[in-house]
Amino acid sequence: MRGADAKPSDERARSKAALAGVEGWLARRCGLPSFEAPPILASSVLTATGASSPEHCYIRWWARHPDAGSRFDKAVRALPEMSDAALVATLLRMDYDGLLYRQHGTIVGHVFFQRHGTDLCAFSCSLGKVHRRSKLWATVVIDFVEFASGLSGINRARVGGGNHPITRGCMATLKPHAAGLGWTVSRDGWVDFRSRRPEETS
């Protein structure tokens, strides 16, 4: 949850600043392929485009189709009935956001996440069928870690459940590079940035 005096607009500005720094350097360091363009921040595109835009439609669809039984599914079900637009606005106020990916001008994937204090936790990651067998899966996850590492006030990022093969694979890809970055990587999906930020470890 955000601090008592933090404004949503301030947090969005910090997220946009962090996203501007996502240049794919971590994915390249890990030997992963790149998308044709850097990811875009879901909250930013929602304010910059109309309700009928592909971005709005994409985000609304995923908000209405969570993985059955997931924490996000339970969180959405706990909300009162509301329009799609109101649901998306409510989720943004609950510190949900995401990175969207394009190939050839079409949205082909995402990683959605929620902020919990000083933790940034990814809870949904998807790629279009044509890309699912490629290493772009790992690129999406590693880009999320890069984004989180540049976000003010974030000490740790979680990329998913520890028993998921994508989580294990991404952690194995990242771990050889973690020491050089001053990060700690655990097999269960946590990446701790605090050793690189001594001012935040008190």
Q: Look up the pTM and report it.
A: 0.83
Strands 184-185 and 156-158: unpaired
Question: Class assignment of domain 8-200?
Answer: alpha beta
Among the residues of the chain, which ranges form H helices? 8-20, 25-29, 42-48, 54-64, 71-77, 84-93, 136-149, 165-181
Tens digits of per-residue pLDDT, 58-105?
Answer: 999 999 998 888 889 899 989 999 998 899 889 989 999 999 998 777
Tens digits of per-residue pLDDT, 13-51?
Answer: 555 555 555 788 999 999 999 888 889 899 888 888 878
Tens digits of per-residue pLDDT, 123-177?
Answer: 988 887 766 667 888 899 999 999 999 898 999 999 976 667 778 888 999 999 9
Which residue carries 């459940």 as its tokens? Answer: 161
Which residue carries 């910059």 as its tokens? Answer: 48
